[in-house]
Structure 1
Amino acid sequence: MKMRSESNSIVNPVTEGNIKKEVLLFFFPIFFGSLFQQVYNAADAMIVGRFLGKEALSAVGGSAGMIILLVVGFFVGLSSGASVLVSQYYGAKNEERVSASVHTVMMFGLLCGILITFAGIVLTPAMLRLLDTPADTMEMSVIYLRVYFAGMTGNLLYNIGSGVLRAAGDSRRPFLFLVVCCVLNIVLDLIFIIPMGMGVFGAALATILSQAVSAVLVIIIMCRTEDSYRLRPAEAGIDPGIIEKMMKIGLPAGLQSVMYGVSNLIIQAGVNGLGTDHVAAWATYYKIDGLFWMAMYAYGIAASTFVGQNYGAGHIERVKKSFITCMVQAAAAAVLISAVIYSISPWLFPLFTTDPGVNKIGVDMMRYLTRFYVLYVSVEIIPGALRGVGDTLIPMFISGAWICLLRSIWIIFVMPLKKDMYTMMFSYPLSWSICTAAFFIYLFRYSSLKEVLRKKDRV
């Protein structure tokens, strides 16, 4: 996707191009980047499990993995506030505010990375004990998590920097950097784990080194660009006004990510109570249906970027068209993915396990839940569009109440009354349906976007 130069001689495709075409061009790099990362995660787990054993695999993917997801998810959500600001200022062609935002958020990422590194290293044993980490994996979990925290700065700078690029309409280069990161991580895994025998320390070291390389690549691009988001290290600093705006937008998104993580832990506890076969089937189901979540995530970012830039540019009619386009394309993708996964699920599960009992349970899970996937579309796209205009607080409460809290209550209080797989799974379409209704009511009656949709273009 071409970027606008400082002379404004290049058309900005987000605010001036064909919306249907540009949304697709923006969507695919994010989607394939997520897909590539999913493949990498599977390969990484295979290397650790095959060459270091089940204890090492549990150490990397168990409690330590949960902590990493919660911490990274929170700060990625927080940094989304920076992406929204850059998107709005970029769409408005306010180069001064774009530059100030970029320098502030990159400095913020650097400081947060240093803080998380020191706090994480000190608190690692306590966090692992809090999650009741098994004694036979505790030592390896501590090693892995501490090394991971040591490299947190690279992780945050990559996520914030790639968020800036996407906010400016460039989803291609973040995808390429992600591919470089994943390939390098696998290569380093093989080197550190097999010939060098570095164990889980090597696995963690491979991860933070590859993330550092990705961060460096993003920073180089930002330092060399002639566009308004150019990074000049000497100008890096903290603008309190920008931090305040970023927090107002990003903090609800970060907290929402944490709430999702906690509710998923509660759901996993409910699945654990159904027995080993159900746990294995559920874990496999999550690997397969990741395709759907990746597509919805990509369209959510597209909605935020296209709505945000056009809102900043004052192109209100394009705000409407961007929102509708993302909704329609995401719904079409949901139907297509659901139909494909539903049809081929009997052939997919045997790729992961040869146990017929696990496969039958997994196929039943897949064919039950895929019928309701289309209900989730609004849960991703409406908050994405609202995030583009800076409206994040109420969407956080809607998602927190009707997805995270409702599912947790369902698992804790309803599932014991009828302890089976379908009772557990019903919490998903139930929460999606109620949350969708709540989002539409808020969107058309109370939201900031509702007011925007009533206005005409500022031309």
Structure 2
Amino acid sequence: MANALTNDMTVGSPIKHIIKFTIPLLIGNIFQVLYNMVDTIIVGRTISVEALAAVGAAGAITFLIVGFALGFTNGLSIIVAQRFGANDMDGVRRSVGTGLILAAMASVVLTAVSMLSARSLLQFMHTPDNIINDLYNYIIVIYAGIVFQVFYNYISCVIRALGDSRTPLYFLLISSIINIILDLVFILNFHMGVAGAGLATIIAQAISGLLCLLYVGKKFPELHLKKSDFKWDSKFSLRHLGLAVPMAFQMSVTAIGVMIVQAVLNSFGSTVIAGYTAANKIEQLVSQPQISFGVTMATFVGQNYGAMREKRIREGVNKCALLVLGFTVIIVALVLIFSRQIAGIFIDSGTSGDLRESVTLYTQNYFYVAGVFYFALGLLFVYRNSLQGMGNSGIVLCGSAVELIARIVLSLVLANTLTGMFGEFYGYLGVCASGPIAWLSACTLFMISYFIKVKKLPEVFEKQRQFKEYDKSAAIE
């Protein structure tokens, strides 16, 4: 039903499919984080600690909009995976056409809203005066290129929905190389500061998205769309929005929590922000195995849900959870042993010894607090994405709300309480604990919801089979 590049996950060994799909995805995700880290490293080592803090603080506010866009495109691709699993290629093309229309509409709205609200959000977050201008210059460039991020991510999501995780990897590698080269050119040669880092990222994503589109046009004939595939169908569009909007808000809800945490951190000053930034960049790298297996489960479960393979869903999720727990043991060991050495990469060797030691200390202590919760983070990705693959976007949004409330309440309460009782350093540790405890809260909800949902799958699939048989009979008559 498809060419050699696609991967039908409804037959064969589930664990082999999961590993085979995850490896290219993991490599691609690591490269993506690495080239984002290059932005941070180059900024921190060639400009200043304040510039490092600015790029770090930008992560929270840019994730509010960019995260919404990523969640939206991921949600649009779920029906593609389900239709592919059901061997309905006409449905796949109709879904892709509808998704492209909705993605274009979302890009326009997100670009306008983000660029108009950028300065106000920075002021709302009490951004320190010594980094607010650098921060604004960086995020305004990122926001101007949202359309390229949406375009590239949607095409990548569609390809992955067909079981191909290798093709997006190739273009992500190209994007990484372009980004690193442009970082050096814009910052070192053109002296564009942090805005140069943002511009390098946007140009790299635009080129990668264009190359990806050209490749798909040549190698994926099943994705050659006709005019009829773009025909507007309100009911079909609402089905896509019913999955995409909750996933988008789930990402934005997480971003709001991150913004609140960042606002609390901003009150501690640029040194604390720089240490927390380095810790988050390291965390983004070492958590990629967990994230990659989670993305895999959305496609695996989506295809098998479309094919009504309940036992394969159970087997795949159970084995993937065990794999993730195994990787988590390695992750925890790495961050606890090497976090101090890795943190030094982000700081210019010419920085004063006391300042360098302070930034490193804040980075290291983040992992002492967060490390014990990485098991919850890994399972959160597995069960949340499995629920998404089954189309249960409502519970995913509820889980995100639980995570948001826990993160906000804990960051404010722990920061204020511990700072008042023991001093600023312990207040910082309280902020570090707020996110991990929120992971545990959301993970618990997702696990309970998954086991309830999967228990009901035989009944759900039986009703779907009866409906199909009735539909066929009616068509014959």
The TM-score with structure 1 as length reference comes to 0.86
- State the match for 1:438 in structure 2: 445
What letter corresponds to residue 408 of structure 2 in structure 1? S
After superposition, residues 2-41 of structure 1 pair within 5 angstroms as 5=2, 12-41=7-36
CA distance in structure 1 between the aligned counterparts of 2:50 and 2:358, rounded to whole angstroms: 25
SS across alignment from 1:5: coil
Deviation at 1:123, TM superposition (A): 4.4
Root-mean-square deviation (CA, aligned residues, Å) is 3.1
Q: Unmatched 5+ residue regions in structure 2?
A: 348-352, 420-425, 470-477
After superposition, residues 7-406 of structure 1 pair within 5 angstroms as 12-49=7-44, 61-63=56-58, 65-133=59-127, 143-198=137-192, 202-232=196-226, 235-272=229-266, 278-352=272-346, 355-401=356-402, 403-406=403-406
Closer/same/farther in 2, CA of residues 231 and 132 from structure 1, 3 Å limit: farther
CA distance in structure 2 between the aligned counterparts of 1:144 and 1:427, rounded to whole angstroms: 27
Farther-moved stretch of structure 1 (301-310 vs 190-199): 190-199
Tell me if the contact between 2:373 and 2:440 (Cα under 8 Å) persists in the aligned partners: no
CA distance in structure 2 between the aligned counterparts of 1:379 and 1:451, rounded to whole angstroms: 21
CA distance in structure 2 between the aligned counterparts of 1:390 and 1:269, rounded to whole angstroms: 34
CA distance in structure 2 between the aligned counterparts of 1:360 and 1:202, rounded to whole angstroms: 29
CA distance in structure 1 between the aligned counterparts of 2:429 and 2:133, rounded to whole angstroms: 37
What letter corresponds to residue 14 of structure 1 in structure 2? M
SS across alignment from 1:17: coil
Farther-moved stretch of structure 1 (372-381 vs 250-259): 372-381
Deviation at 1:178, TM superposition (A): 1.1
The count of residues paired between Structure 1 and Structure 2 equals 450
SS across alignment from 1:393: helix
- State the match for 2:350 in structure 1: none
Tell me if the contact between 2:83 and 2:91 (Cα under 8 Å) persists in the aligned partners: yes
Cα offsets for 1:292-324 (capped at 9, x unmatched): 432221111111110110111122221111211
Tell me if the contact between 1:89 and 1:95 (Cα under 8 Å) persists in the aligned partners: yes
CA distance in structure 2 between the aligned counterparts of 1:138 and 1:348, rounded to whole angstroms: 27
Deviation at 1:87, TM superposition (A): 0.5
SS across alignment from 1:409: helix
Identity across aligned pairs (percent)?
28
Deviation at 1:240, TM superposition (A): 2.3
What letter corresponds to residue 68 of structure 2 in structure 1? F
Deviation at 1:5, TM superposition (A): 2.0
Tell me if the contact between 1:60 and 1:141 (Cα under 8 Å) persists in the aligned partners: yes
SS across alignment from 2:77: helix
SS across alignment from 2:2: coil
Closer/same/farther in 2, CA of residues 135 and 81 from structure 1, 3 Å limit: same
The TM-score with structure 2 as length reference comes to 0.83
Cα offsets for 1:116-141 (capped at 9, x unmatched): 34444444444444445556666655
- State the match for 2:423 in structure 1: none
CA distance in structure 2 between the aligned counterparts of 1:296 and 1:36, rounded to whole angstroms: 15
What letter corresponds to residue 250 of structure 1 in structure 2? A
Cα offsets for 1:380-405 (capped at 9, x unmatched): 2111111001001122212311x220
Cα offsets for 1:186-209 (capped at 9, x unmatched): 222333444445555544433322
Q: Residue 452 of structure 1 is aligned with which of 454, 457, 461?
A: 457
CA distance in structure 2 between the aligned counterparts of 1:393 and 1:40, rounded to whole angstroms: 34
